[in-house]
Amino acid sequence: MKRDRYGKAKVLTQAEIEVLFSDGLLRSRDRALFGFCLYTACRVNEACTQLSEDVYNPLGRVRPEMIIRKCHAKGQLSSRVIPTSTDLEILLKQHSGEAGDYYLFPGRWGRGHIHPDSAALILREACKRVKIEGVSTHSFRRTALTQMSDNGVPLRIIQEISGHRNLEQLQKYLEVRDAQVKGAIASLSHLSYAGNPKFPEETEAESIF
Protein backbone atom coordinates (compact mmCIF):
# COMPACT_ATOMS: atom_id res chain seq x y z
CA MET A 1 0.00 0.00 0.00
CA LYS A 2 2.98 2.27 0.34
CA ARG A 3 3.67 3.89 -3.01
CA ASP A 4 6.68 6.04 -3.92
CA ARG A 5 7.27 6.94 -0.26
CA TYR A 6 10.65 5.23 0.25
CA GLY A 7 8.99 2.61 2.45
CA LYS A 8 7.30 5.13 4.73
CA ALA A 9 3.57 5.13 5.37
CA LYS A 10 1.57 8.10 4.14
CA VAL A 11 0.78 10.90 6.59
CA LEU A 12 -2.95 11.53 6.34
CA THR A 13 -4.49 14.96 5.81
CA GLN A 14 -7.49 16.19 7.80
CA ALA A 15 -9.73 15.71 4.73
CA GLU A 16 -8.50 12.14 4.26
CA ILE A 17 -9.13 11.31 7.92
CA GLU A 18 -12.67 12.65 7.68
CA VAL A 19 -13.60 10.72 4.54
CA LEU A 20 -11.88 7.55 5.74
CA PHE A 21 -13.76 7.47 9.04
CA SER A 22 -17.08 8.56 7.56
CA ASP A 23 -17.22 6.59 4.30
CA GLY A 24 -14.29 4.16 4.29
CA LEU A 25 -14.45 2.34 7.62
CA LEU A 26 -17.97 0.91 7.84
CA ARG A 27 -18.02 -0.80 11.25
CA SER A 28 -17.79 0.84 14.67
CA ARG A 29 -15.11 -1.74 15.53
CA ASP A 30 -12.95 -0.66 12.60
CA ARG A 31 -13.35 3.04 13.38
CA ALA A 32 -12.46 2.34 17.02
CA LEU A 33 -9.44 0.23 16.02
CA PHE A 34 -7.86 2.82 13.75
CA GLY A 35 -9.06 5.68 15.93
CA PHE A 36 -7.13 4.03 18.76
CA CYS A 37 -4.02 3.99 16.55
CA LEU A 38 -4.50 7.65 15.62
CA TYR A 39 -5.41 9.16 18.98
CA THR A 40 -2.83 7.26 21.03
CA ALA A 41 -0.10 7.21 18.32
CA CYS A 42 0.35 3.49 18.93
CA ARG A 43 1.35 0.71 16.55
CA VAL A 44 -1.37 -1.46 15.04
CA ASN A 45 -0.11 -4.49 16.97
CA GLU A 46 -0.54 -2.58 20.21
CA ALA A 47 -4.11 -1.67 19.26
CA CYS A 48 -4.94 -5.24 18.21
CA THR A 49 -3.68 -6.66 21.52
CA GLN A 50 -5.18 -3.93 23.71
CA LEU A 51 -6.97 -5.26 26.79
CA SER A 52 -10.57 -4.26 27.47
CA GLU A 53 -9.82 -3.71 31.15
CA ASP A 54 -7.29 -1.03 30.20
CA VAL A 55 -9.97 0.82 28.22
CA TYR A 56 -13.22 0.37 30.18
CA ASN A 57 -13.69 0.51 33.95
CA PRO A 58 -15.80 -2.12 35.81
CA LEU A 59 -18.93 -0.06 35.05
CA GLY A 60 -18.20 -0.20 31.33
CA ARG A 61 -17.24 3.44 31.04
CA VAL A 62 -14.28 4.60 28.98
CA ARG A 63 -11.30 5.32 31.19
CA PRO A 64 -9.81 8.85 31.17
CA GLU A 65 -6.42 7.35 30.31
CA MET A 66 -5.38 4.50 28.04
CA ILE A 67 -2.70 2.11 29.29
CA ILE A 68 -0.50 0.65 26.55
CA ARG A 69 1.50 -2.17 28.05
CA LYS A 70 5.14 -2.83 27.30
CA CYS A 71 4.46 -6.53 26.77
CA HIS A 72 2.42 -5.65 23.67
CA ALA A 73 4.96 -3.16 22.30
CA LYS A 74 7.91 -3.51 19.96
CA GLY A 75 11.40 -3.73 21.47
CA GLN A 76 12.17 0.00 21.27
CA LEU A 77 8.97 0.96 23.08
CA SER A 78 8.06 1.12 26.75
CA SER A 79 4.74 1.06 28.61
CA ARG A 80 2.93 4.37 28.64
CA VAL A 81 -0.27 6.06 29.74
CA ILE A 82 -2.08 8.22 27.16
CA PRO A 83 -4.90 10.66 28.06
CA THR A 84 -8.15 9.74 26.31
CA SER A 85 -9.16 12.39 23.79
CA THR A 86 -12.83 13.25 23.22
CA ASP A 87 -12.69 11.82 19.69
CA LEU A 88 -11.32 8.52 20.92
CA GLU A 89 -13.84 8.34 23.78
CA ILE A 90 -16.73 8.63 21.30
CA LEU A 91 -15.34 5.84 19.12
CA LEU A 92 -14.75 3.55 22.11
CA LYS A 93 -18.27 4.15 23.43
CA GLN A 94 -19.68 3.13 20.06
CA HIS A 95 -17.50 0.01 20.08
CA SER A 96 -18.24 -1.08 23.65
CA GLY A 97 -20.93 -3.57 22.63
CA GLU A 98 -18.45 -5.45 20.40
CA ALA A 99 -15.49 -5.34 22.79
CA GLY A 100 -14.34 -8.69 24.10
CA ASP A 101 -14.21 -9.69 27.74
CA TYR A 102 -10.43 -9.88 27.52
CA TYR A 103 -9.27 -8.21 24.31
CA LEU A 104 -10.68 -4.90 23.15
CA PHE A 105 -10.80 -6.14 19.56
CA PRO A 106 -11.53 -9.89 19.64
CA GLY A 107 -10.68 -12.15 16.73
CA ARG A 108 -13.04 -14.19 14.59
CA TRP A 109 -15.68 -16.04 16.60
CA GLY A 110 -14.43 -14.23 19.68
CA ARG A 111 -11.16 -16.14 19.81
CA GLY A 112 -8.01 -14.26 20.82
CA HIS A 113 -7.56 -10.80 19.31
CA ILE A 114 -7.88 -9.47 15.78
CA HIS A 115 -4.71 -10.13 13.81
CA PRO A 116 -2.72 -7.15 12.47
CA ASP A 117 -2.90 -8.69 8.98
CA SER A 118 -6.69 -8.68 9.22
CA ALA A 119 -6.57 -5.04 10.31
CA ALA A 120 -4.39 -4.24 7.29
CA LEU A 121 -6.91 -5.91 4.97
CA ILE A 122 -9.79 -3.95 6.50
CA LEU A 123 -7.88 -0.71 5.99
CA ARG A 124 -6.92 -1.62 2.43
CA GLU A 125 -10.58 -2.16 1.51
CA ALA A 126 -11.59 1.07 3.25
CA CYS A 127 -9.00 3.06 1.33
CA LYS A 128 -10.15 1.55 -1.96
CA ARG A 129 -13.68 2.58 -1.08
CA VAL A 130 -12.69 6.24 -0.73
CA LYS A 131 -9.86 6.17 -3.30
CA ILE A 132 -6.95 7.03 -1.00
CA GLU A 133 -3.54 5.61 -1.94
CA GLY A 134 -0.31 5.10 0.00
CA VAL A 135 -1.93 4.35 3.36
CA SER A 136 -0.90 1.54 5.69
CA THR A 137 -1.77 0.70 9.27
CA HIS A 138 1.35 2.65 10.27
CA SER A 139 -0.06 5.84 8.72
CA PHE A 140 -2.09 6.63 11.83
CA ARG A 141 0.96 6.55 14.11
CA ARG A 142 3.03 8.67 11.69
CA THR A 143 0.15 11.10 11.24
CA ALA A 144 -0.29 11.57 14.98
CA LEU A 145 3.40 12.09 15.72
CA THR A 146 3.89 14.42 12.74
CA GLN A 147 0.84 16.48 13.72
CA MET A 148 2.23 16.94 17.23
CA SER A 149 5.57 18.03 15.80
CA ASP A 150 3.87 20.45 13.38
CA ASN A 151 2.00 21.99 16.31
CA GLY A 152 5.26 22.70 18.12
CA VAL A 153 5.00 19.98 20.78
CA PRO A 154 8.54 19.43 22.14
CA LEU A 155 10.17 16.23 20.93
CA ARG A 156 10.71 15.02 24.49
CA ILE A 157 6.95 15.09 25.11
CA ILE A 158 6.23 13.38 21.78
CA GLN A 159 8.77 10.72 22.76
CA GLU A 160 6.87 10.15 26.02
CA ILE A 161 3.72 9.48 23.99
CA SER A 162 5.35 7.37 21.28
CA GLY A 163 7.34 5.31 23.78
CA HIS A 164 10.60 5.48 21.81
CA ARG A 165 13.72 5.10 23.90
CA ASN A 166 15.64 7.76 21.99
CA LEU A 167 14.92 10.81 19.84
CA GLU A 168 16.79 9.41 16.85
CA GLN A 169 14.24 6.62 16.45
CA LEU A 170 11.37 9.08 16.91
CA GLN A 171 12.64 11.51 14.30
CA LYS A 172 12.47 8.82 11.63
CA TYR A 173 8.69 8.89 12.00
CA LEU A 174 8.24 12.62 11.52
CA GLU A 175 7.34 13.80 8.05
CA VAL A 176 9.02 16.90 6.65
CA ARG A 177 6.39 18.65 4.54
CA ASP A 178 7.00 20.67 1.38
CA ALA A 179 5.55 23.76 3.04
CA GLN A 180 8.05 23.42 5.88
CA VAL A 181 10.95 23.20 3.43
CA LYS A 182 9.66 26.27 1.56
CA GLY A 183 9.29 28.11 4.86
CA ALA A 184 12.84 27.23 5.82
CA ILE A 185 14.18 28.59 2.53
CA ALA A 186 11.97 31.67 2.82
CA SER A 187 13.56 32.38 6.20
CA LEU A 188 16.82 33.05 4.36
CA SER A 189 15.28 36.33 3.16
CA HIS A 190 16.61 37.77 6.43
CA LEU A 191 20.03 37.41 4.81
CA SER A 192 18.98 39.45 1.79
CA TYR A 193 21.39 41.72 -0.03
CA ALA A 194 18.42 43.93 -1.04
CA GLY A 195 19.71 46.75 1.14
CA ASN A 196 22.40 47.35 -1.48
CA PRO A 197 20.80 46.31 -4.79
CA LYS A 198 23.32 48.16 -7.02
CA PHE A 199 26.11 45.91 -8.15
CA PRO A 200 29.30 47.21 -9.77
CA GLU A 201 29.50 46.68 -13.50
CA GLU A 202 31.60 43.75 -14.58
CA THR A 203 34.85 44.55 -16.30
CA GLU A 204 35.73 42.71 -19.49
CA ALA A 205 38.31 40.64 -17.63
CA GLU A 206 35.83 39.57 -14.93
CA SER A 207 33.10 38.63 -17.41
CA ILE A 208 35.16 35.86 -19.05
CA PHE A 209 35.12 33.71 -15.88
SS3 73: coil
- How far is it, in rounded angstroms, from Cα 26 to Cα 21? 8
Q: Walk along the chain (209 residues) and give the pLDDT tens digit of each residue.
A: 444 445 578 999 999 999 999 999 999 999 999 999 999 999 999 999 999 999 999 999 999 999 998 765 555 456 788 999 999 999 999 999 999 999 999 998 878 999 999 999 999 999 999 999 999 999 999 998 888 888 888 888 888 888 877 777 677 767 666 666 676 657 666 665 656 656 566 665 555 55
**What spatial distance separates the first Cα and last Cα of the chain, rounded to whole Å?**
51
> Where do the domains of the chain lie?
14-144
CB 93 within 8 A of CB 62: yes
Nearest to 105, CA basis, from 38, 31, 39: 31
Class of domain 14-144: mainly alpha
pTM score of the predicted model: 0.79
Question: Helices 28-40 and 116-130 sit at what angle, rounded to 10 degrees?
Answer: 100
